[in-house]
Structure 1
Amino acid sequence: MSLHETDYELDGFEPADEEHEQHHDHLDISSFKVLAEHRTDTDSYFVLLDEGATWGIPGSPQLRAVHVSRDLSARTFEIDSNELPLYAMAQSYLIARGCPSDALSPQEGVHDPADDVTRALEARVRGDGDRFALLASYTADMREPVETVVMLRSLDPQAVPEFRILRERFDCDSNTHTLREGGFETYGAAGDWWEAWSDEEASGAAAAGSDRTPQPGPPRPGDTRAAGISTATRPLNTIPPGPVSADRRRAI
């Protein structure tokens, strides 16, 4: 897999303000490599891999979605970006900012889904991303296989189940990944599964990455969990959940 460094094509352009200048400086580093990109005369969209993330805070997202917009008359630019745990979330973030929905497929061998279940779930993540908030994520790149888990909460107070966990597993041998989800009726149930996963004891479809229809993990006594899953997500904010606090996530 050969990835290249970013070229934001900003020669002859000035930042629209100091904030965009600082943002550009932060993104203009060699550890960011391009997984996919789409360009027009005025806009550029990138999904980047931060190869240096593995040496930073444990569990941090390793992907970044970047949108560069250029004002051709004023010769200025603005940069908008977000650090995200899953490739489909990065796509959804950029689609919401004007990128065509089919323009950010990665090159073959970069981020290949292993099965139809993964393809279908990632399509929902890309398309229905305005329905959920991101509560927490953790990328366990020291595990074999590498895993990323994401906890989401529905923005619809009537949604059942209210909480979702997505689990991606990357197979280094085949260079493919699976994505599965589980639905949890309560925050406590989702937190229990998360804690079990952190101790490498989680089970269920969100955990197992099997070919069967995704189901939530097994409940603990007193918990109830809904099995139906109808939508997936783009993160809208980052609110660390209570039992999975920032400190706890870093220790997992």
Structure 2
Amino acid sequence: MNGGFDFDFDLDELAPADAASEEAVERFWSGDLTALSQHHTTPNGSHSFVLAHDQSTTWGIPGAPQVMVIAVARDLTQFTYTLETSHHATVSFAQNWLVERGCPPEEIAEIHGGSLKPADGLTVWVERQIRESGTRYEVLDNHTSDSDPSETWTLTRDSRAAEAPIRVFHEEWDQGTGTYTMHEGAFADVDAARSWLDERNGPLPLPPEYRGEVNILRSRAALSRSAGAATARKTGPDVPRTSPAGPVRHPIQGRLM
């Protein structure tokens, strides 16, 4: 079930199943959270999966991930529960975390109240690949930028890659056109990936296994961006924009109404 959510996990009659769950509940505070998507299982509401934007991180450590996920599992025969939380730089990696804990991918795929949309088919393809990748990607580092450039990146190791196993997933947001892109780059080692992230001296190197449809999608993405830019110059964007003198909205906040 998706829709409005008040972060009431209905745990009053249940006890934490372990120390980690007890600590997680004690730390948990929903005041800075905005729910983006959720799913609750039936019958008896045994599991809850929530994806949210955590605004508290915007005034914390610079670059900290701002997407929070929560997984609750209730044992209604033992009157206990487990509760886990995790932070991620991008929605797609957050969704992957929830899927690995039993959430059906299709139930957590839609982000509610979003105003920014994928710019092209390649972005949709890459996000779905991450969401349904299981334990394929080991996350090594990530970074979120609130201001120019408005972006996130996630540095990973791809356990299935025969070549260039270090992968960078770069997500870039365009508030003016109301869209965002997600691209995957492949590197031989972590140093090469960090060098690209520091210098940005060219496009992301295409993963060697990209073939056929993905190359077509990449070409269409370039055409779509060109057409979108021309349309924007003629008609202007049809999404809410911040005033030039106002604050820059965080990418995740840009998806909210």
When residues 174 and 68 of structure 1 are mapped into structure 2, their CA distance, relative to the original with a 3 A threshold, is farther
Question: Runs of at least 4 residues of structure 1 off by over 4 A?
Answer: 2-5
Deviation at 1:9, TM superposition (A): 2.5
Larger Rg: 2
Residue 179 of structure 2 corresponds to which residue in structure 1? 176
Work out whether residues 85 and 148 of structure 1, in 8 Å CA contact, stay in contact via their aligned partners in 2.
yes
> Are 2:207 and 1:203 equivalent residues in the alignment?
no
Equivalent residue number for residue 26 of structure 2: 25
- The answer to whether the 8 A contact 1:47-1:90 is kept is yes
* Counterpart position of 1:60: 64
Contact 2:36 2:113 (C-alpha < 8 Å) held by counterparts = no
Q: Does 1:99 align with 2:100?
A: no
| CA–CA distance in structure 1, aligned partners of residues 4 and 169 of structure 2 | 26
- Quote the offset at 1:97 in angstroms: 1.0
Check whether the contact 1:3–1:35 (CA below 8 A) recurs between aligned residues.
no
Q: Which runs of 5+ in 1 are unaligned?
A: 207-214, 217-225, 231-252
Q: CA deviation at 1:19?
A: 2.4
Any gaps of 5 or more consecutive residues in structure 2?
Answer: 212-257
From 69, 76, 79, the counterpart of 2:80 = 76
Q: Partner letter of residue 181 of structure 1? A: E
* 1:182-221 superposed matches below 5 A: 182-196=185-199, 201-204=200-203, 206=204, 215-216=205-206
Letter of the 1:107 counterpart: H
Pairwise CA distance, 1:58: 0.5
Partner residue, 2:148: 143
Partner SS state of residue 106, structure 2: coil
Residue of structure 2 equivalent to 1:14: 15
TM-score calculated relative to the size of structure 1:
0.74
CA apart distance, 1:4: 5.8
TM-fit CA distance, 1:165: 0.7
The answer as to 2:156 corresponding to 1:152 is: yes
Q: Are the structure 2 counterparts of residues 179 and 7 from structure 1 closer, same or farther at C-alpha, using a change threshold of 3 Å?
A: same
Match of 2:34, as an amino acid? K
* Paired positions, count: 205
Taking a change above 3 Å as real, the CA distance of residues 171 and 26 of structure 1, as seen in their structure-2 partners, is farther
- Give the Å deviation of 1:108: 4.7
Residues 144 and 153 of structure 2 are in contact (CA less than 8 Å); yes or no, is this contact kept in structure 1?
Answer: yes
**1:114-125 map, 5 Å:** 114-125=119-130
The residue that corresponds to 2:117 in the other structure is: 112
